[in-house]
Structure 1
Amino acid sequence: MALLFRNRSLLAKRSLPSKILSRDTGYIVLIPEIGEDLPKKGSLLQSNGLPEFSNISVEKCMAAIGVQALEFEKGIKEIEKRLEQHPDPDVFIHIFQPLDILGAPLDVTWGLSKTLYLGNNTSMPTNNYLAIHEHAKRVRASKFNSKIIYDLSKRDLGDKKRTNEETRMVKKFVLEGKLNGLELDENRKYQLRENRKNLLEEIGKFKIKIETATKQFKHVINDFSIVRDFPEDLLKNMAVNSEKPNEGPWEIKLLSHIYPRFMEHCPDRNLRFNAWLASVTVGAIHRSKDLATSVHVEQIRFLRREQANILGYETYADVSMETKMAASTSNIKSLFRNLLQVAKLTQDDELNNLYKFAKERGFDGSQMELWDIPYWSRKQRKALTKYKDEEIREYFPLETVLNGLFRVCEKLFDIQIAFRQGISVWHKDVKYYDIFEKNSREPTSGFYLDLFANKNHEKPALHMDKNWMVAIQNRSKIASTMPLAALIFNYRPIGLNQPILLSFKDVETLFNKFGHALQHLLTRTTYADVAGVSNVEWDVVETSGHVFSYLLNNRSILRTVSGHYETGAVMPDDLADSMFESRKLTAGLDLCRDMYLSALDIELYTTKEYWLDVVKRLWPEFRSFPLDKLDSHPCSFSQIFSEDWAASYYSHLWSRVIAADIYSAFYEVRNDEEQIRTIGKRFRDTYLALGGSYSPNEVFRMFRGRDPSHKALLRLLGIKKDGQVLVK
Structure 2
Amino acid sequence: MALSFLRTKLVARHVKSHLYQNKRNAGYVVLIPEIGEDADKSMLLSENGLPEFNDLTIEKCIAAISKQSLEYETGVKQIESSAPNCKNAFVEIFRPLELLDSPLELTWGMAKTLYLGNSCLMPTKSYIKIHERAHRARASKFNSRPIFQAAVAEKNRLKKLTDEEQRLLDKYVLEGKLNGLDVDGINREKLNNIVAEMQKERNFFRDKVSTATKIFSSTIENSEIVKDFPESLLKSMSVHNHPNKGPWKITLQPFIYEPFMQYCPVRGLRWNAWQAHTQRCSGYGNKDLESSTHLEKIRGLRQEQAKILGYDTFADMSMETKMAGSIENIYSHLDSLLEHARPMQDVELQSLQDFANERGFDDRLEFWDVPYWQRKQKWSLYNYDEDKIREYFPLPRVMNSLFNLCSTLFKIEIVERQDVHTWHKDVKFYNIFDESTNQPIAGFYLDPYARQDEKIRIYDDAGWHVSMRNKSTVSSTNPLSALIFNFQAPEGEKQSLLSFQEVGVLFQRFGHALRHLLTRANYSEVAGLSNVEWDTAEVCGHVMTHWLYDPNTIKAISGHYKTEEQLPEDMIVNLQKVRGHMAGYDLCKELYLSRLDLELHSTKTFWRDLVREMWPRYHSLPFDKYDSHPLSFTKIMSEEWAAAYYSHLWSRMIAADIYSAFEEARKRDGDVLSVGQRYRETFLAAGGGCHPAEVFRRFRGRDPSPQALLNNLRLSNKMIEE
Band of TM-score, shorter chain: over 0.9
Confirm or deny: 8 A CA contact 2:469 2:479 kept in the other structure.
yes
Correspondence 1:485 to 2:481: yes
Q: Distance in 2 between matches of 1:668 and 1:190?
A: 56
Which of 352, 365, 368 in structure 2 is aligned with 1:368?
Answer: 365
Which of 517, 538, 543 in structure 2 is aligned with 1:521?
Answer: 517
Q: Distance in 2 between matches of 1:672 and 1:605?
A: 45
Correspondence 1:447 to 2:444: yes
Secondary structure, counterpart of 1:184 in structure 2: coil
Query: Cα–Cα, structure 1 residues 46 and 723, in superposed 2: closer, same or farther, change >3 Å?
Result: closer
Q: Structure 1: give runs of 5+ residues left out of the alignment.
A: 1-25
Task: Tell me the CA shift for residue 42 of structure 1.
Answer: 6.0
Partner of 2:104: 106
Q: Distance in 1 between matches of 2:459 and 2:180?
A: 33
- Amino acid of the structure 1 residue aligned with 2:160: K
Partner of 1:384: 381
Correspondence 1:32 to 2:30: no
Task: Tell me the CA shift for residue 116 of structure 1.
Answer: 0.4
Q: Distance in 1 between matches of 2:561 and 2:460?
A: 30
- Please identify runs of 4+ aligned residues in structure 1 that moved more than 4 A: 26-29, 671-674
Q: Distance in 2 between matches of 1:653 and 1:420?
A: 37
Confirm or deny: 8 A CA contact 1:43 1:105 kept in the other structure.
no
Query: Cα–Cα, structure 1 residues 28 and 613, in superposed 2: closer, same or farther, change >3 Å?
Result: farther
Which of 72, 87, 90 in structure 2 is aligned with 1:89?
Answer: 87
Task: Tell me the CA shift for residue 46 of structure 1.
Answer: 3.0
Q: Which digits, 9 at most, give the CA deviation of each residue in 1:249-277, with x for residues without a partner?
A: 11111111111111111111111111110
- Amino acid of the structure 2 residue aligned with 1:162: L
Which of 504, 510, 524 in structure 2 is aligned with 1:508?
Answer: 504
- Within a 5 Å distance, the mapping from 1:216-615 to structure 2 comes to 216-242=215-241, 244-365=242-363, 367-455=364-452, 457-462=453-458, 465-493=461-489, 495-615=491-611
Partner of 1:23: none
Partner of 1:647: 643
Q: Which digits, 9 at most, give the CA deviation of each residue in 1:168-195, with x for residues without a partner?
A: 1000000000001011013211111111
Which of 622, 633, 646 in structure 2 is aligned with 1:637?
Answer: 633
Correspondence 1:72 to 2:72: yes
- Amino acid of the structure 1 residue aligned with 2:34: P
Partner of 1:9: none
Q: Distance in 2 between matches of 1:188 and 1:110?
A: 34
- Amino acid of the structure 2 residue aligned with 1:232: E
Partner of 1:171: 170
Query: Cα–Cα, structure 1 residues 634 and 655, in superposed 2: closer, same or farther, change >3 Å?
Result: same
Query: Cα–Cα, structure 1 residues 197 and 89, in superposed 2: closer, same or farther, change >3 Å?
Result: same
Partner of 1:704: 700
Partner of 2:206: 207
Which of 646, 657, 663 in structure 2 is aligned with 1:661?
Answer: 657
Confirm or deny: 8 A CA contact 1:33 1:63 kept in the other structure.
yes
Confirm or deny: 8 A CA contact 1:446 1:483 kept in the other structure.
yes
Task: Tell me the CA shift for residue 43 of structure 1.
Answer: 6.7
Q: Distance in 2 between matches of 1:527 and 1:725?
A: 50
Confirm or deny: 8 A CA contact 1:419 1:434 kept in the other structure.
yes
- Within a 5 Å distance, the mapping from 1:5-154 to structure 2 comes to 30-36=32-38, 38-39=39-40, 44-84=44-84, 86=85, 88-154=86-152
Q: Distance in 2 between matches of 1:205 and 1:321?
A: 26
Task: Tell me the CA shift for residue 364 of structure 1.
Answer: 0.9
Paired residues in the alignment total 694
Q: Which digits, 9 at most, give the CA deviation of each residue in 1:131-169, with x for residues without a partner?
A: 111111111011111112111211222434111110110
Task: Tell me the CA shift for residue 465 of structure 1.
Answer: 2.5
Confirm or deny: 8 A CA contact 1:412 1:680 kept in the other structure.
yes
Task: Tell me the CA shift for residue 30 of structure 1.
Answer: 2.2
Confirm or deny: 8 A CA contact 2:488 2:498 kept in the other structure.
no
- Amino acid of the structure 1 residue aligned with 2:661: A
Identify which range, 170-179 or 58-67, moves more after superposition: 58-67
Query: Cα–Cα, structure 1 residues 285 and 465, in superposed 2: closer, same or farther, change >3 Å?
Result: same
Q: Which digits, 9 at most, give the CA deviation of each residue in 1:546-593, with x for residues without a partner?
A: 000111111111112111111112112211111221231210011000
Task: Tell me the CA shift for residue 440 of structure 1.
Answer: 2.3
Confirm or deny: 8 A CA contact 1:719 1:725 kept in the other structure.
no
Task: Tell me the CA shift for residue 327 of structure 1.
Answer: 1.0
Instruction: Give the structure with the higher percent helix.
Output: 2
Task: Tell me the CA shift for residue 82 of structure 1.
Answer: 2.1
Q: Distance in 1 between matches of 2:719 and 2:58?
A: 59
Q: Distance in 2 between matches of 1:606 and 1:451?
A: 42
Q: Distance in 2 between matches of 1:664 and 1:408?
A: 17
Secondary structure, counterpart of 1:450 in structure 2: strand
Partner of 1:11: none
Query: Cα–Cα, structure 1 residues 463 and 396, in superposed 2: closer, same or farther, change >3 Å?
Result: closer
Secondary structure, counterpart of 2:225 in structure 1: helix
Query: Cα–Cα, structure 1 residues 380 and 179, in superposed 2: closer, same or farther, change >3 Å?
Result: same
Task: Tell me the CA shift for residue 671 of structure 1.
Answer: 5.3
- Amino acid of the structure 2 residue aligned with 1:209: K
Task: Tell me the CA shift for residue 705 of structure 1.
Answer: 0.5
Confirm or deny: 8 A CA contact 1:42 1:65 kept in the other structure.
no
Q: Distance in 2 between matches of 1:681 and 1:145?
A: 39
Partner of 1:620: 616
Q: Distance in 2 between matches of 1:132 and 1:364?
A: 56
Q: Percent identity?
A: 49
Q: Which digits, 9 at most, give the CA deviation of each residue in 1:447-476, with x for residues without a partner?
A: 000001113x11123566231000000000
Q: Distance in 2 between matches of 1:446 and 1:494?
A: 25
- Amino acid of the structure 1 residue aligned with 2:340: V
Partner of 2:717: 721
Q: Distance in 1 between matches of 2:593 and 2:350?
A: 23
Q: Distance in 1 between matches of 2:214 and 2:623?
A: 25
Q: Distance in 2 between matches of 1:43 and 1:309?
A: 48
Q: Structure 2: give runs of 5+ residues left out of the alignment.
A: 1-23
Confirm or deny: 8 A CA contact 1:715 1:725 kept in the other structure.
no
Q: Which digits, 9 at most, give the CA deviation of each residue in 1:55-78, with x for residues without a partner?
A: 111111111111111111111111
Correspondence 1:198 to 2:197: yes
Q: Which digits, 9 at most, give the CA deviation of each residue in 1:477-535, with x for residues without a partner?
A: 00100000000001122522211111110000000000010100000001000000101
Secondary structure, counterpart of 1:670 in structure 2: helix
Q: Distance in 1 between matches of 2:622 and 2:707?
A: 29
